[in-house]
Homo-oligomer: A and B are copies of this chain.
Amino acid sequence: MAPIRLGMVGGGKDAFIGGVHRIAARIDGEFALVAGALSSTPERSRDSGQALGLAPERCYGSYDEMAEAEAARPDGIQAVSIVTPNHMHAGPAIAFLKRGIHVICDKPLTATMEQAEELADAIRASEALFILTHNYTGYPMVRQARDMVAAGELGALRVVQVEYPQDWLADAAETTGTNKQAEWRTDPARAGAGGSIGDIGSHAHNLACFVSGLKVESLAADLHSFVPGRKLDDNAHILLRFGGGVRGMLWSSQVATGNENALRLRIYGEKGGLEWAQEDPNYLWFTPFGQPKRLLTRAGSGASDAANAVSRIPGGHPEGYLEGFANIYTGAAAAIRAVEAGATPDLSLLPGLDAGLDGMRFIAAAIRSSQADAAWVTL
């Protein structure tokens, strides 16, 4: 099958996540990048595009221009990846959705709740798909964990512990003038009102909900900025209450020295417990109550259909972050092909508007709670 024609907004030089999206789109051969508005100025956009092998006439100076031009081409893009800072999600997404072009958008949904609502309207009004790259849900063993919970292997859930510590902002990296990632991710104008809570806490929240199948009903959050001068939180401590009486904790931090990208989920029910760590993603620890702990491995003898469906290679041959990310893209491709064939796409495992709004509400609630000195806030 011919690859889906893909455009990209953002992802020029100095960007991190744009390159990730491009590889993820490419791994399974489902997409071909053919157009881009990669940077905020036409010249840089063209430079970046040419480095990626795009035709010069499809390197656009703005997303609006791109949306219009591509929509008019018979071989125009079928889908677009939006990989800009958070405040630049809604604008391009709406522009492409309006024209029936499917959108694959980096998380969180937007920088503000207002933008989120505007985008939500556009998504609801469009026949095109909107996929949010909560990429950690693409890991095979995360899929397996979700299935095991859903199948009742843990019994009724009780406790969900999720954490996402990093250390790359342990000093004032945003003031050095050399770290663009640090700059926009600590800037309220571009990132929104959440610092660690928006950047990584939202991933942790999404992962906990994805695996548990639950929603956070209320939370009490203690957010803090440890690095002097930083405008957004770089550490968040949150008490969680999920539906069904399940309780949990969420910790996100950008100042926990010794942690690179240590997203970790632990989930306990009446009959068993599961533990998963993003840095060692091919392993899933499962303990049925009263039995020894078992090490389930991707594509290994304990792997489930849900995991195997998104595995490419045998057990012991580690798949990583890019493969997990690619599973979102390949899932999106299947959904896009279904829509284009007039069929109903299977969106059950693909994060979209609902996950995005849940994330925005979670971030907003955490900030509101923290401003009220960790008072409970209902989502």
Question: How distant is the Cα of A16 from the Cα of B311 in the complex, in angstroms?
Answer: 13
Of A187-195, A273-281, A352-360, the one touching chain B: A273-281
Interface residues of A in 213-269 (CB under 8 A from B): 220, 222, 224, 226, 235, 237, 239, 241, 247-249, 251, 253, 255-262, 266, 268-269
> Are B292 and A295 interface neighbours, CB within 8 A?
yes
A317 contacts which of B2, B259, B261 (Cβ < 8 Å)? Answer: B261
Q: Does A293 contact B (CB under 8 A)?
A: yes
Beyond A226-B158, A261-B315, whether A291 also contacts B302 by CB under 8 A is yes
> Are B248 and A237 interface neighbours, CB within 8 A?
yes
Q: Does A319 contact B (CB under 8 A)?
A: yes
Q: Does A294 contact B (CB under 8 A)?
A: yes
Query: A318: shortest Cβ distance to chain B, in Å?
Result: 4
Of A17-25, A88-96, A334-342, the one touching chain B: A17-25
> Are B373 and A260 interface neighbours, CB within 8 A?
no
Beyond A22-B29, A220-B239, A294-B292, whether A316 also contacts B170 by CB under 8 A is no
> Which residue of chain B lies nearest to A303 when distances are taken between CB atoms in the complex?
B292
Question: How distant is the Cα of A260 from the Cα of B295 in the complex, in angstroms?
Answer: 12
Q: Does A147 contact B (CB under 8 A)?
A: no
Q: Does A290 contact B (CB under 8 A)?
A: yes
> Are A268 and B249 interface neighbours, CB within 8 A?
no
> Are B269 and A257 interface neighbours, CB within 8 A?
yes
Question: How distant is the Cα of A224 from the Cα of B245 in the complex, in angstroms?
Answer: 10
> Are A279 and B27 interface neighbours, CB within 8 A?
no
Q: Does A100 contact B (CB under 8 A)?
A: no
Which residues on the B side are within 8 Å of A170 (C-beta)? 268, 270, 289
In the complex, the count of this chain's copies comes to 4
Q: Does A61 contact B (CB under 8 A)?
A: no
> Which residue of chain B lies nearest to A294 when distances are taken between CB atoms in the complex?
B292
A291 contacts which of B262, B275, B301 (Cβ < 8 Å)? Answer: B301
Which residues on the B side are within 8 Å of A226 (C-beta)? 158-159
Question: How distant is the Cα of A280 from the Cα of B295 in the complex, in angstroms?
Answer: 14
Which residues on the B side are within 8 Å of A247 (C-beta)? 222, 224, 235, 237
Query: A135: shortest Cβ distance to chain B, in Å?
Result: 10
> Are B159 and A316 interface neighbours, CB within 8 A?
no
A376 contacts which of B319, B320, B374 (Cβ < 8 Å)? Answer: B374
> Are B239 and A258 interface neighbours, CB within 8 A?
no
> Are B159 and A261 interface neighbours, CB within 8 A?
no
Q: Does A296 contact B (CB under 8 A)?
A: yes
The interface centre, meaning the residue of A29, A255, A320 with most chain B CB atoms within 10 A of its CB, is: A320
Interface residues of A in 158-175 (CB under 8 A from B): 158-159, 161, 163, 166-168, 170-171
Question: How distant is the Cα of A20 from the Cα of B299 in the complex, in angstroms?
Answer: 15
Q: Does A113 contact B (CB under 8 A)?
A: no
Residues of A within 8 A of B (CB): 1-3, 16, 19-20, 22-23, 26-29, 52-53, 154, 158-159, 161, 163, 166-168, 170-171, 220, 222, 224, 226, 235, 237, 239, 241, 247-249, 251, 253, 255-262, 266, 268-275, 278-282, 285-297, 300-302, 312-323, 373-374, 376
4 closest pairs, A vs B, by CB? A260-B316, A261-B316, A258-B287, A292-B302
Contacts A/B (CB < 8 Å), 20 sampled: A20-B312, A26-B29, A159-B226, A159-B255, A220-B222, A235-B247, A253-B268, A257-B272, A258-B285, A258-B293, A260-B300, A261-B317, A286-B292, A291-B301, A293-B294, A294-B295, A295-B295, A313-B322, A319-B320, A320-B322
